[in-house]
């Protein structure tokens, strides 16, 4: 960490060049002797990446940014704020602190927060930034989280861990056993020092396999932001033996779409099925990732079009955690039937359909956009159909 980066003139230079092509800056050269061109460019690029993801940091003066990879790997403020709502008590230790976004939001909820980061430079950066952000209840430790846990040797209300999903060659890994630290190896240690453990994992992990690999799992939170799954949050509770629940949330600009259910229910209940009725519903990606296909049908009183289509229908309009449409027409999938509709522009979606969106557009000569929504899918009679819809 080169503290000269924080000099007023250099900070002004960084802020005034956030929209400048960095290749032009490199050619022109950086007019400061205290810092290298590489250091200043790194600050500019990292700050630009933080504008939407980390607006609090972006708007705060004298923030020191780490490299781009650290910004890419850190939680967004939206997901960090959601996590903070799940914890309670007076103490939490963040074993893999990183850039400190999660710790920042935990500190708004919990009196004592410990941030562990093994990288010396990153730990120094985070310590500085917490002061700039006027946070006084976070202690930064420059050491391995598991080592700190053993050394401190006290009980915490919560342990939070976001294991590194990069191997020694900086390539991405996804399995729990390949992450650092190895959750499967250390989960008994975590539950020794805290009654509650929150583990952030890749959204690509298989839910059933991961559930079987962990002990005392109480909840899984599937978090999406603007219909893109960002995180899986596993909540472990010491000696927990009751039923495992999955809670899904899609954070949007207009509010959160939430749906939760008992994991076991999905295998024990049957969905209702129907031909297309008046309204069509497409679940958000958090529900699709969670696999809550039958439980959505049963809980909300809507019918599936087909076992594998994951589209739903009803005669009356309902509030639904996903996209909602009014079906204007249901036609068979063939070129002649579609030509009669004289549709040249529409938004196209496929579900349980053998042809890709791109090929459909070419075959039927449909341009992208407009107010019409076409769903190419399969109904309960295994017929290929086109649902012509408008937003409800």
Task: State pLDDT tens for residues 96-116.
Answer: 999 999 999 999 999 999 999
Q: Give yes or no for a contact between 247 and 220, defined as CB atoms under 8 angstroms apart.
A: yes
Task: State pLDDT tens for residues 63-98.
Answer: 999 988 889 889 999 999 999 999 999 999 999 999
- How far CA 59 is from CA of 24, 47, 54, 128, 246, in Å, comes to 25, 10, 9, 16, 35
- According to CATH, the topology of domain 269-391 is VC0802-like (3.30.2130)
Cα 45 from Cα 88, distance rounded (Å): 36
CATH 3.30.2130: which residues of the chain? 269-391
- Asked if residue 169 has pLDDT above 60, the reply is no
Cα 306 from Cα 308, distance rounded (Å): 5
* Residue whose pair of structure tokens reads 């994992």 in the numeric block: 201
- Asked if residue 27 has pLDDT above 90, the reply is no
Long-range pairs of 230-234 with CB within 8 A, sequence gap ≥ 24: 230/76, 230/79, 230/203, 231/75, 231/79, 231/200, 231/201, 231/203, 232/200, 232/201, 232/202, 232/203, 232/205, 232/207, 233/83, 233/86, 233/198, 233/199, 233/200, 233/201, 234/198, 234/199, 234/201, 234/210
- How far CA 311 is from CA of 161, 200, 273, 322, 342, in Å, comes to 35, 29, 10, 11, 25
pLDDT confidence of 168, banded at 50, 70, 90? low
Q: Give yes or no for a contact between 255 and 294, defined as CB atoms under 8 angstroms apart.
A: no
Task: State pLDDT tens for residues 348-387.
Answer: 999 999 999 999 999 999 999 999 999 999 999 999 999 9
Cα 313 from Cα 141, distance rounded (Å): 53
- Give this prediction's pTM: 0.90
Q: What is the mean pLDDT of the chain?
A: 93
Counting Cβ atoms within 10 Å, is residue 378 exposed (0-12), middle (13-18) or buried (19+)?
buried
CATH 3.40.50.150: which residues of the chain? 72-242
Cα 20 from Cα 12, distance rounded (Å): 14
Task: State pLDDT tens for residues 298-356.
Answer: 999 999 999 999 999 999 999 999 999 999 999 999 999 999 999 999 999 999 999 99
> What proportion of the chain, given as a percentage, has pLDDT over 70?
97
CATH architecture of 72-242: 3-Layer(aba) Sandwich (3.40)
Cα 222 from Cα 78, distance rounded (Å): 13
């Amino acid at each position: 960490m080169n503290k000269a980066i924080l000099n007023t003139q250099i900070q002004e230079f960084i802020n005034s060049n956030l929209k400048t092509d960095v290749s032009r800056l490199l050619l022109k050269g950086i007019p400061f002797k205290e810092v290298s061109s590489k250091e200043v460019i790194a600050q500019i690029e990292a700050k630009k990446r933080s504008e939407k993801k980390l607006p609090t940091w972006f708007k705060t003066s004298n923030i020191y940014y780490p490299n781009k990879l650290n910004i890419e790997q850190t939680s967004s403020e939206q997901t960090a704020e959601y996590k903070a709502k799940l914890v309670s008590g007076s103490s939490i230790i963040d074993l893999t602190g990183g850039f400190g976004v999660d710790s920042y939001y935990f500190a708004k909820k919990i009196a004592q927060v410990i941030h562990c980061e093994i990288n010396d430079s990153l730990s120094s950066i985070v310590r500085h930034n917490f002061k700039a952000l006027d946070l006084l209840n976070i202690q930064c430790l420059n050491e391995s989280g598991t080592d700190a846990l053993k050394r401190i040797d006290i009980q915490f209300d919560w342990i939070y861990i976001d294991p590194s999903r990069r191997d020694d060659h900086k390539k991405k890994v996804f399995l729990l056993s390949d992450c650092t630290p190895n959750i499967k190896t250390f989960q008994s240690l975590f539950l020794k020092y805290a009654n509650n453990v929150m583990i952030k994992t890749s959204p690509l992990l298989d839910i059933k396999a991961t559930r079987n690999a962990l002990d005392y799992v109480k909840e899984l939170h599937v978090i999406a932001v603007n219909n893109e799954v960002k995180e899986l949050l596993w909540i472990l509770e010491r000696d927990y033996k009751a039923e495992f629940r999955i809670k899904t949330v899609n954070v949007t600009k207009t509010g959160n779409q939430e749906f939760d259910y008992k994991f076991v229910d999905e295998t024990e209940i049957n969905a209702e099925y129907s031909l297309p009725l008046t309204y069509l519903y497409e679940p958000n990606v958090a529900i699709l990732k969670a696999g809550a296909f039958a439980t959505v049908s049963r809980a909300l009183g809507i019918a599936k079009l087909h076992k594998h289509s994951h589209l739903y229908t009803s005669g009356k309009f309902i509030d639904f955690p996903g996209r909602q449409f009014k079906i204007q027409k249901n036609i068979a999938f063939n070129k002649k039937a579609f030509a009669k509709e004289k549709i040249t522009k529409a938004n196209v979606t496929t579900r349980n359909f053998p042809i890709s969106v791109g090929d459909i557009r070419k075959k039927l000569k449909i341009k992208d956009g407009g107010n019409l929504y076409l769903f190419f899918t399969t109904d309960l009679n295994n017929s290929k159909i086109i649902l012509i819809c408008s937003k409800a």
